[in-house]
Structure 1
Amino acid sequence: MKSEEKYDYLIVGSGLFGATFAHEMTKAGKKCLVLDKRDHAGGNIHCKKIEDINVHWYGAHIFHTNDKFLWDYVNQFAEFNRYTNSPIANYKGELYNLPFNMNTFYSLWGTKTPKEAKEEIARQIKHLNIGEPQNLEEQALKLVGTDIYEKLIKHYTEKQWGKKATELPAFIIKRLPVRFTYDNNYFNDKYQGIPIGGYNKIIDGLLDGCEVRLNTDFFEDRTKWLSLAEKIVYTGKIDAYFDYRFGELEYRSLRYELEVHDTENYQGNAVMNFTDAETPYTRVYEHKHFEFGTQPKTVTTKEYPVKDAQNAEPYYPVNDEKNMHTLKKYQDLASKEEKVIFGGRLAEYRYYDMHQVIASALLKSKNELKNE
């Protein structure tokens, strides 16, 4: 490429935010160049075909939303199936339905009505005198009582975060549904499913017509890339963009262990959570069940938490007081970058579901076009 050739937007990262932004700008007649340091596009929703099964390479991704506009938006690139997320909790070989609902309560206590279940929870925590929960442990106990906390929350959460439940903020557990109905559907959202043929179809559709360069690290020749475009869309780690001036932001990380099994059905469910302290992994995914597969073999992924996440792949921001204080400093720097748009999970340092990433990219691309 000639050095004087220019793009309207250089987009660093081809995950959902970068790909959606690139799609909207390309539709509007803008010239975009998308860079990604990995050997594939799509960020963490990338799938690999193994034994003719679409394997979620970076852990399970289940699309769910209440927003019909966003549901219609993704459905223009792929047809979605009717997959409903109904995980199973495995505590030392005992199996329980998730999210916590009347099936869970019946398995544990034999309670058959919502009234009985609520009375049992109240009985278990009566002596604890919990007022306003001060940490995750207190919040969980108040929600579901001691039995569920000890068997299905405490050890699983401490494995995930690498911290005691008493050291974690209460708000983390508030994401967890608790239902007094016989309903194993994890999400409350109206729309839910997996794209038939895998998430790569969504990314391929979003990036159609864009120039994409893989195996290309923006930071290895930052000056060159910055000189090629009028504006930058940056979706990587915000602290990395500013050379870690105020120190590194913390992330939880994961590693995955893939296994191919010479059987058509290994665990009978797409997602199984292992909630005891002794099992080193947190979850096992059986990928064919995301798409109701009938292949002769099956593929599973064990998900392990990574204790030292400093040099590992960043997955989940640790939104505690210390990190949020550091983030504010980086956000102040970012606000002064007139030619750079920061977007996505890493650049905004926040936990995003897929539909939220897309919504953020659509909003920022719309604002860009409006402000021309």
Structure 2
Amino acid sequence: MTAEHPAPCLAFVESPVQLLNVLEWAHHTGRPRLTIVVLPPTDPMSRGQLRRMAGLARDEGVTVRWQEARLGRGALPRTLRELAPLLRGAERVLVGDPFSRYVQLLLTLFGPRAVTVVDDGTATMEFAERLARGERLVRWHRRGHGLTPRELALAPVTALARRRLAPGRRRAVEVFTALPVEAPPGATVTPNRFAWTRERFGPPRVSGGADLVGTSLVETGVVEPEPYVAAVASLAAAHGATRYFAHRRESVEKLHRIAAGTGLEIVRPELPLELIARRGPIGRTVLSFPSTVVHTLPLALAGTGVRIAVCEVAPEWLRAGASPRARGFLAAVTESARTAHGPGLTVA
């Protein structure tokens, strides 16, 4: 795909899950002509998963462009310059992370006529709420109330990006999500049922016992490491869990503590967990802390007989400096999943 003949649909993704959900959107909408621009982070786990997801996308006939916006001096200005022609010709832009400074900078170049926001974890819920209230785009787990010097410098960029992510007379906004999101005024919400994942993979072989899904709540500064590791050990013992599927951002040190203290096999998934679970084998019970997977796994594993159980985060686990919103937000993730999936999801 050349800059002279850009695809009418252009997607910006920075994580494997975002890329997966762009493929789900393409499947749902009848496979429009699409170019996916991957803006990879620097951590090796994310980059490896993104490489493999990019391969799956190419297998589906999607054009994928790998764009290094973070590596090397001058990488960001070069990225903005090279992607400007693609943005100029796009009728619809898909965004995996509306909170990303890189995406916000790109959106200042041109205002697309149609925007679709696809899931990037629970941030989608926060985005919809902030868009509805007209608030600035700040992640739910961010600590502190004031703007940092860097945020002050980027405030005009963030403000313009927020306007270009908002519906208006000349712009249609869609949220494509597996989460229970209420449509902001003027926007539409399209349910993501993980139809492509179910058609492309599985059904999985379901083994006995349980698998446990890790979270990066410690790494993002929300939860203290000691109670988290203790909770993992307690869940593993109570449910006979044998494997721990690590989040791609979990630290090596924490995972070593978990393996040494519980005997759990640490699995570093090569693809998003929805695809790993669908390919199998997967435990009869999947245990998770509050995260996106308590919404997505019941959809990806529909009809397999696998039970999803969520472990609530106790208030005493939270760090002293955690965001005031953290406790309520995590509880809302659990409660909304229980409401959406009913008997398919229980509390451990």
Q: Do both proteins adopt the same fold according to a TM-score greater than 0.5, normalized to the shorter chain?
A: no
TM-score of the aligned structures, taking structure 2 as reference length: 0.28
With a CA cutoff of 8 Å and minimum separation of 6, indicate the structure with the bigger relative contact order: 1
TM-score of the aligned structures, taking structure 1 as reference length: 0.26
Report the structure, 1 or 2, having the larger helix content: 2
